[in-house]
């Protein structure tokens, strides 16, 4: 192997080890080798056999080597034929994970209809179950019922499940209203202060949240600070926008979020928050205004739209009555056209 290739593999191994919350010594013990050997591997200074790579992958629950298909890799497409028919379109994974986190805001029963039943959702459900949240799939459906406990038991969190998903970082927004001091496992191997984490922490400081890195955990403390001016996000990301929206939802004041993402999963979260009684203006734009509630305790049902490829500007939840149309909810021409393209062809 070339030195450059060894360094790339070493970096992958290091990131996977951190994702699992292991030290170099712990990985060395699992492999039956020394800490110095693991250090050389991560620095790209150690030749590796396929057997060793397989053992490292097993120890870190990660796949570093995969074998490609030995058959032909080419497809031949013959077009020129008229297509017609209909398909069932799945709901979005990205919308689903945000809604699961937002359910932590609600003391009442939350029912999410037609939710994507995928591995990422299952991981979050494992984490929620471990801290006392009751969840169940309704019979013969993809509808999920969520009931919060009287008290969330963060100390009982399933760390292994939490470390397998980046979504756990989105617990910060809802939980800062419940705890003055708490900790969460590292989210998906992201280092504190890296580009994917720092925008969250910078924005949530407006709500008094301060985070320090400890061994494998984010240690969070919550002060008395509240937003006194517009929160300008340092990154127009979907998850950071959603995290700040969830923090603002439980603050009984007006929060203005600038440089917000206008993507469909953020819109879905905004519509869900409206169902909870939170006022959200500017949906589909890069400036959101949120007027939250100190307590949220409602029984709510919500179904994320199956597709929306263009920003919606109407600021109404998908099934709320429309003053401009006899049909319910968001029915802008761009939404209708994107739905037709995605769910039916003729």
Return the active site residues: 190
Neighbours of 278 (CB within 10 A): 22
d(C-alpha 120, C-alpha 260), whole Å: 24
Q: How far apart are the two ends of the chain, measured CA to CA in Å?
A: 52
Alpha-helical segments (H) within the chain: 3-19, 24-31, 35-42, 50-60, 93-102, 119-130, 159-163, 172-175, 198-204, 238-249, 264-275, 333-343
d(CA 111, CA 73): 43
Cβ contacts of residue 301 below 8 Å, gap of 6+? Answer: 111, 112, 113, 275
CA–CA gap between residue 113 and residue 141 (Å, rounded): 8
Q: Do residues 311 and 277 make contact, with C-beta atoms less than 8 angstroms apart?
A: no
> How far apart (Å, rounded) are the C-alpha atoms in residues 237 and 266?
10
Those residues with Cβ within 8 angstroms of residue 200's Cβ, 6 or more apart along the chain or in another chain: 169, 172, 239, 240, 243
185 forms beta bridges with 217
**Dihedral pair phi/psi, residue 16, rounded to 5°:** -65, -40
List the one residue out of 244, 247, 246 whose CA is nearest residue 232: 244
**Distance (Å, rounded) from C-alpha 102 to C-alpha 173?**
9
Decide the pairing of beta strands 279-281 and 287-291: antiparallel
């Amino acid at each position: 192997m070339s030195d450059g290739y060894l360094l790339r593999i070493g970096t992958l191994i290091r990131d996977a080890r951190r994702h699992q919350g292991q030290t170099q010594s712990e990985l060395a013990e699992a492999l039956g080798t020394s800490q110095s050997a693991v250090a050389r591997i991560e620095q790209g200074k150690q030749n590796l056999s396929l057997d060793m790579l397989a053992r490292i992958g097993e120890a870190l629950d990660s796949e570093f080597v995969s074998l490609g298909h030995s058959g032909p890799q080419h497809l031949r497409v013959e077009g020129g034929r008229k297509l017609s028919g209909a398909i069932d379109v799945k709901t979005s994974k990205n919308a689903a994970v945000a809604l699961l986190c937002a359910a932590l805001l609600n003391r009442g029963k939350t029912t999410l209809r037609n939710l994507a039943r995928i591995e990422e959702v299952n991981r979050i459900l494992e984490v929620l179950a471990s801290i006392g949240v009751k969840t169940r799939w309704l019979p013969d459906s993809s509808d999920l019922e969520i009931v919060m406990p009287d008290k969330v038991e963060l100390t009982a969190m399933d760390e292994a499940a939490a470390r397998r998903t980046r979504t756990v970082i989105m617990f910060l927004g809802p939980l800062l209203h419940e705890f003055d001091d708490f900790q969460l496992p590292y989210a998906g191997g992201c280092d504190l202060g890296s580009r994917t984490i720092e925008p969250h922490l910078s924005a949530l400081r407006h709500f008094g949240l301060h985070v320090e890195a400890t061994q494998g955990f984010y240690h969070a403390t919550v002060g008395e600070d509240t937003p006194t001016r517009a929160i300008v996000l340092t990154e127009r990301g979907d998850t950071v926008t959603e995290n700040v929206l969830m923090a603002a939802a439980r603050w009984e004041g007006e929060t203005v979020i600038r440089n917000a993402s206008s993507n469909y999963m953020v819109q879905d979260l905004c519509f869900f928050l409206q169902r909870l009684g939170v006022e959200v203006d500017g949906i589909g734009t890069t400036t959101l205004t949120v007027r939250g509630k100190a307590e949220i305790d409602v029984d709510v049902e919500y179904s994320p739209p199956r597709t929306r490829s263009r920003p919606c500007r109407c600021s109404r939840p998908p099934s709320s009555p429309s003053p401009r149309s006899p049909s319910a909810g968001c029915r802008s021409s761009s939404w209708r056209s994107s739905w037709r393209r995605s769910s039916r062809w003729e």
